């Protein structure tokens, strides 16, 4: 059975960084980032990539059906008895419903926990303006808070680091707006289903530990 866990939080909350930290501790967990998958599709010029481009450039959401399709495909070809750590998906109520439908119709999985990374807005803006990303493995760094050992080079794979096209001031502000309008309501969606776990997202180490502790304990907010 697919055991789906979700990382939820504003842009810059540290979903990718936390996911990477978790996978270091639990190498058998599968990190699924729809942002990375879409950027890869865009780079290799696939049909999905072409369709997604216009939305991503503006910081808007790619249509629900397109994203659900790539996620479903990813689950279908992956191992069934694994933990899948979703980062950046679902992003709308509709995506959450589509995911639940897909999991129950296939009878192969369920959403077991949803971790809400909580970070103050000033911190979010600061993080995103200095964020740099590895072109090859997707690792995330920060120009001042978390610089790589060698400028422009990824510590883990040696790949080239770059600033994402949508990490500019205007697009960042739009992405926050999109989050407030379309994603924040997911918090109540999952709270109602008793799987929501709020986590302090200020430090990666603290967030990773809180999540591992929660996974070891009973489900539900306390």
- How many positions of this chain bind Zn ion (CB under 5 A)? 7
- Binding region for ligand ADP (CB under 6 A) out of 21-29, 54-62, 99-107, 204-212: 54-62
Residue 54: how many CB atoms within 10 A of its CB? 10
Comparing CB distances to Zn ion, the nearer of 59 and 138 is: 138
Burial of 213 (0-12, 13-18, 19+ CB in 10 A): exposed
Whether residue 192 contacts residue 164, with contact meaning beta carbons closer than 8 Å, is answered with no
157 binds, among ligand ADP, Zn ion, none (CB under 5 to 8 A by kind): Zn ion
140 is a site residue for Zn ion (CB under 5 A):
no
- Distance CA(6)–CA(76), nearest Å, equals 18
Residue nearest to ligand ADP (CB): 35
Give whole-number Cα distances, 1 to 4, 37, 81, 93, in Å. Answer: 9, 23, 5, 23
Span of 30-38, 68-76, 133-141, 200-208 interacting with Zn ion by CB under 5 A: 133-141
**Binding-site member from 1, 50, 157, 184 for Zn ion (CB under 5 A):** 157
- Work out the angle at residue 56's Cα, subtended by the Cα atoms of residues 171 and 76, and round it to the nearest 5 degrees: 140
Of 26, 164, 204, 209, which residue is the catalytic one? 164
Interface with ligand ADP, residue 11, by CB under 6 A? yes
Whether residue 76 lies in the annotated active site: no
The closest of 185, 202, 200 to 91, measured between CA atoms, is: 185
164: annotated active-site residue: yes
The binder of 98, among Zn ion, ligand ADP, none, by C-beta within 5 to 8 A per type, is none
Sign (positive/negative) of CA torsion 114, 118, 121, 127?
Answer: negative
CA atoms within 13 A on the CB side of 25: 16
Residue 102's binding partner out of Zn ion, ligand ADP, none, with CB under 5 to 8 Å set by partner kind: none
Instruction: Kindly tell me which residue out of 50, 65, 120, 137 binds Zn ion, with binding defined by CB under 5 A.
Output: 137
* Active site (annotated) includes residue 149: no
Q: Supply the DSSP symbol for 150.
A: B
Nearer to ligand ADP, 113 or 175 (CB): 175
Q: What residues have CB less than 8 Å from 154, skipping those under 6 apart?
A: 134, 136, 137, 139, 141, 148, 160, 161
Dist CA 113 CA 5 (whole Å): 5
Catalytic residue among 30, 39, 127, 175: 175
Q: Which residues bind ligand ADP (CB under 6 A)?
A: 11, 15, 34-35, 38, 55-56, 59-62, 67, 88-89, 91, 95, 166, 175
- Active site amino acids: 15, 91, 131, 164, 175
Q: Which residues bind Zn ion (CB under 5 A)?
A: 134, 136-137, 139, 154, 157, 159
């Amino acid at each position: 059975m697919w055991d789906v866990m979700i990382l939820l939080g504003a842009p810059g909350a540290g979903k990718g960084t936390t996911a990477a930290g978790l996978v270091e501790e639990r190498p058998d967990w599968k990190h699924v980032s729809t942002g990375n998958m879409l950027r890869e599709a865009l780079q290799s010029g696939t049909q999905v990539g072409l369709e997604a481009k216009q939305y991503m450039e503006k910081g808007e959401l790619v249509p629900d059906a397109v994203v659900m399709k790539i996620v479903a495909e990813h689950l279908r070809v992956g191992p069934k008895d694994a933990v899948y750590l979703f980062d950046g998906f679902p992003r709308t109520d509709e995506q959450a419903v589509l995911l639940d439908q897909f999991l129950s119709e296939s009878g192969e999985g369920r959403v077991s926990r949803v971790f809400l990374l909580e970070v103050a807005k000033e911190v979010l803006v600061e993080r995103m303006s200095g964020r740099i990303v590895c072109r090859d493995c997707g690792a995330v760094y920060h120009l001042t808070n978390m610089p790589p050992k060698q400028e422009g080079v990824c510590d883990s794979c040696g790949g080239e680091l770059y600033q994402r096209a949508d990490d500019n001031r205007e697009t960042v502000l739009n992405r926050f707006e999109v989050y407030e309008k379309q994603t924040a309501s997911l918090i109540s969606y999952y709270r109602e289903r008793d799987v929501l776990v709020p986590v302090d997202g200020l430090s990666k180490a603290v967030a990773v530990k809180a999540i591992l502790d929660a996974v070891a304990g009973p489900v539900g907010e306390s």
